[in-house]
């Protein structure tokens, strides 16, 4: 019975860490260089990535999102919204879940808003949940390393890359993105 209570306490602590933006969030000076490294890595992965970024109305870039879980899981990351290669606002991404998640992993994530309408809807939202407020088309390479051209026509594209660690689940569904003051 003691282990159930301590597991529940651990779950509540993790949930509180991931549901609200943290006060100790990284500064712009810490986030911006990581964003630049993430973009360099992203552009090097596929020849079309730079062209897609140039067509996007805006890009939300999370250099590192860490997810950990032992039955109860949480994820957290910090990033920036860029419009025309300029930082506009800073955001956190977080989620919590209960289930069969086991492990620790990190990843980089870029969300491209391919239309001005999609970008405006995101910017005007108060806490944006992937899957609830908007569907993000996850882009993956098909056979021969080519992107699915039909998927590339969606208004919001999501790229997950640079995965490190081992965890049973790296989905975007249910992640909450919140603007923070830096």
Residue 22 has pLDDT above 50, yes or no: no
Other Cβ atoms closer than 10 A to 56: 22
pLDDT for 149 equals 72
pLDDT for 19 equals 42
Cα–Cα distance, 171 to 175 (Å, whole number): 9
pLDDT for 150 equals 75
Q: Which domain holds residue 21?
A: 2-180
Confidence band of 49 (pLDDT split at 50, 70, 90): very high
Q: Is the C-alpha dihedral spanning 42, 14, 96, 118 positive or negative?
A: negative
Confidence band of 168 (pLDDT split at 50, 70, 90): low
Residue 30 has pLDDT above 60, yes or no: yes
- Phi, psi at 2, each rounded to 5°: -65, -40
Confidence band of 145 (pLDDT split at 50, 70, 90): low
pLDDT for 144 equals 55
95 token code pair: 């989620």
- What rounded mean pLDDT belongs to the chain? 79
Number of domains comprising the chain: 1
Contacts of 92 (CB under 8 A, 6+ apart): 21, 22, 25, 76, 77, 78, 79, 177, 178, 180
pLDDT for 142 equals 54
**What stretches of the chain adopt beta strand conformation (E)?**
58-83, 86-113, 128-129, 137-138, 156-167, 176-180
Each residue of 73-99: pLDDT tens digit? 888 999 999 999 999 999 999 988 777
pLDDT for 70 equals 83
pLDDT for 130 equals 73
Q: Is the C-alpha dihedral spanning 121, 125, 131, 136 positive or negative?
A: positive
DSSP state of 151: G
Each residue of 105-140: pLDDT tens digit? 898 999 999 999 999 999 998 878 776 666 788 776
pLDDT for 64 equals 94
For residues 60 and 83, is the Cβ–Cβ distance under 8 A? no
**CA 75 to chain CA centroid, nearest Å:** 9
């Amino acid at each position: 019975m003691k282990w159930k209570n301590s597991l529940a306490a651990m779950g509540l602590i993790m949930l509180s860490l991931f549901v609200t933006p943290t006060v100790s969030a990284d500064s712009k000076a810490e986030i911006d260089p990581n964003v630049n490294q993430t973009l360099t890595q992203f552009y090097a992965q596929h020849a079309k990535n730079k062209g897609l970024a140039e067509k996007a109305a805006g890009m939300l870039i999370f250099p590192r999102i860490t997810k950990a879980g032992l039955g109860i899981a949480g994820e957290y990351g910090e990033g920036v919204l860029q419009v025309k290669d300029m930082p506009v606002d800073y955001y956190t991404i977080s989620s919590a879940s209960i289930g069969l998640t086991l492990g620790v992993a990190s990843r980089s994530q870029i969300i491209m808003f391919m239309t001005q309408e999609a970008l405006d809807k995101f910017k005007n939202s108060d806490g944006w949940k992937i899957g609830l407020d908007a569907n993000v088309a996850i882009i993956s390479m098909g056979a021969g390393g080519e992107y699915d051209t039909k998927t590339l026509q969606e208004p919001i594209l999501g790229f997950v890359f640079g995965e490190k660690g081992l965890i049973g689940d790296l989905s975007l569904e249910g992640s909450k993105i919140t603007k923070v003051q830096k």
